[in-house]
Structure 1
Amino acid sequence: MLTNAEIPSHVPQDLVSSFNFWTAKDMAPTPGGDPHLSLSALRKGPRIFYSPNNTRDGQGTWVLTSIDDMRTVLRDTETFSSHRSIFASALGENWPLIPLEIDPPDHSTFRKLLNPLFSPQRMEKLEAQVRQRAIDLIESFKDKGSCEVMSEFAFPYAVSIFLEFLGLPKERMKEFLDWATNLLHPATPQHRTDAAMEVIAYLDDLAKLRRSTPADDFMSFVVDAEVDGRRLSDKEVRGIAVLVFIAGLDTVAAGIGFDLSHLARHQDDQQTLREKPEMIPNAVEELLRAYSTVQMVRVAKQDTELAGVQIKAGDLITCASQIANRDPNEFPDPDKIDFERNANRHMAFAYGVHRCLGSHLARRELVASLEEWMKRIPPFRVKNGTEPVAHGGFVFGVQSLEISWD
Structure 2
Amino acid sequence: MSNVLRLALVDPNDASRESLKAMLLGMDTIWLEADCSRYEFFPDIIEQTTPDVGVVSLDNNPTTAINLIARITAECPDTALLAASESSDGQQILKAIRAGAREFLTLPLVDQELSEALDRISMAKFGGNDSRGRACQVIAIAGATGGVGSTSTAVNLGCVLAEDPRNSVALVDLDLALGDADVFLDAIPDYTIADVVQNISRLDIQLLKRSLTKHSSGLYLLPRPVELHDVAGIQPDSLRKVIGLLKASFSHLIVDLSKTYSDLDMVAIETASKVLLITQLDLPCLRNVVRLMMSFDETEGLQDKVEIIVNRAGLDAGQISLKKAKETLGREIFALLPNDYRTMVEVRNNGVPLITQAPKAALTQAFRDMAARLGGGIDADDHDDHHDSEHASSNESRWKRFWPGQTKAKG
Which structure would you say has the larger RCO, counting Cα contacts within 8 Å and 6 or more residues apart? 1
Q: Larger Cα Rg: Structure 1 or Structure 2?
A: 2
TM range (shorter): under 0.3
Structure 1-normalised TM-score? Answer: 0.23
Larger strand share, 1 or 2: 2
